[in-house]
Amino acid sequence: MSKQTALSGIHTPNRIKHSYTQSINGTPEQVFPLLCPVGELDWVPGWSTDWVISTKGLVEQECLFQTPPAAGTKSASIWIVSRHDPHDFRVEMYKVTPGLTVGKLAISLAASGTGTTKAKISYEFTSLGTDGDAFLETFTTEWYENFMRGWEAAMNHYLKTGELLAP
């Protein structure tokens, strides 16, 4: 098979990336452990996970977990932690939703003053077909910023009170 024939099915994917920097009222040492599929049960309203595969029972490099289908979707999502660095306060993971998208989540934390943290959070989604293309149309800057502000409020509330923010 010629190289040209072998490459004829390759095309540029539809992909969107958004980034946002949150202001968190806690130190990176306090915030980083909350970036965990088990820890998020305590502070993210509506968060759930079906299962977690981890030697420590918490997030770690190569940890796998699954979340149930999101509203309007058919498939559960499988998450794969590709980087977990508690010394540099960085975590990256991929989210695969069959028939929809492959997403990449990257989070980096940095101290930004007395007891506060800047959390840079980036989500990038690549479409896996027409359903994924439709999803990408809804993944707007406005939607993402609202999502990030809600996440920021939930984490700050939890760090202040130790309780889940009421929906």
Instruction: Report the CATH number that the domain containing residue 83 is assigned in CATH.
Output: 3.30.530.20
| Number of domains forming the structure of the chain | 1
Model confidence over 36-67: pLDDT tens digits? Answer: 999 999 999 999 999 999 998 899 999 999 99
Q: Is residue 1 a part of any domain in this protein?
A: no
Rounded Cα–Cα distance for residues 98 and 101 (Å): 7
Return the pLDDT at 5.
52
Q: Is residue 49 a part of any domain in this protein?
A: yes
Q: Is residue 56 a part of any domain in this protein?
A: yes
Q: Is residue 27 a part of any domain in this protein?
A: yes
Q: Is residue 55 a part of any domain in this protein?
A: yes
pTM here?
0.91
Return the pLDDT at 7.
62
In terms of residue numbers, what domain contains 75? Answer: 14-161
Return the pLDDT at 74.
86
Within the chain, which residues score under 50 in pLDDT?
1-2
Q: Is residue 167 a part of any domain in this protein?
A: no
Ramachandran category for residue 85: left, alpha or beta (phi over 0 → left; psi -120 to 50 → alpha):
beta
Q: How crowded is residue 125: how many other Cβ atoms within 10 Å of its Cβ?
A: 23
